Amino acid sequence: MGSLSIGSPVRAQSWADIGDYSSLLRQAGTQTLVAKDCPSGLLGAFHAGRNALLLCSNNLQDDPAQVWTVLAHESAHVMQHCQQGPLLPDHQIGSALAQIEKQSMSSFQELRLYHQSQRRDEIEARLVQGLPMAEVKALFRGFCGNRLKRGAPKSTPAAGLGDG
């Protein structure tokens, strides 16, 4: 990802922004699903084996900014899957942590809840969720661009993303 800086992020302003980014994910072969029955507190998830990104509508507010944050976070895990490893070089993890702490103390503190084996992936995802929308899209194209050339899968994704 190179050197990252978190300024004032341009977050999704509309459901159309979210729908556009969801379409990009689908073009790369990632299913985007919306569930209404997730466990309490779960906002989203990515399942690498199924290459499926899930948003939990029962735990999200009807607010494009919050949905975008979760979508950007989970799409970082998609990028890690495309990359088959971490997005940041080892020497940038410390500065990533410092940026997350500046951006959101609660997000920084939540990292302690994860097992050490998951912490790096979560650091990167929290960093991505705080980036401007254009930068998240550019990162996705950079890490998953080779999948975009293949086109979207034949299956129809679940409705819901961008239906606002």
Residue 125, pLDDT above cutoff 60: yes
pLDDT at 25 over 90: yes
8 pLDDT more than 50: no
Q: What is the mean pLDDT of residues 27-47?
A: 96
Closest of 125, 138, 144 to residue 83, by C-alpha: 144
Q: For residue range 58-105, list pLDDT tens digits in order.
A: 999 999 999 999 999 999 999 999 999 999 999 999 999 999 999 889
For 127-149, what is the mean pLDDT?
92
CA atoms within 13 Å, Cβ hemisphere of 46: 20
Q: Which amino acid is at 7?
A: G
pLDDT at 13: 67
Token pair belonging to 71:
């979508």
Q: How far apart are CA 46 and CA 4, in angstroms?
A: 23
Q: Give this prediction's pTM.
A: 0.82
Query: H or E element: which one contains 30?
Result: none
136, two tokens: 């998240």
**Res. 11: pLDDT tops 50:** yes
Q: Kindly state the percentage of the chain with pLDDT values over 90.
A: 76
Residue of higher predicted confidence among 160 and 147: 147
Mean pLDDT within 22-49: 96
Predicted confidence at residue 2, as pLDDT, reads: 36
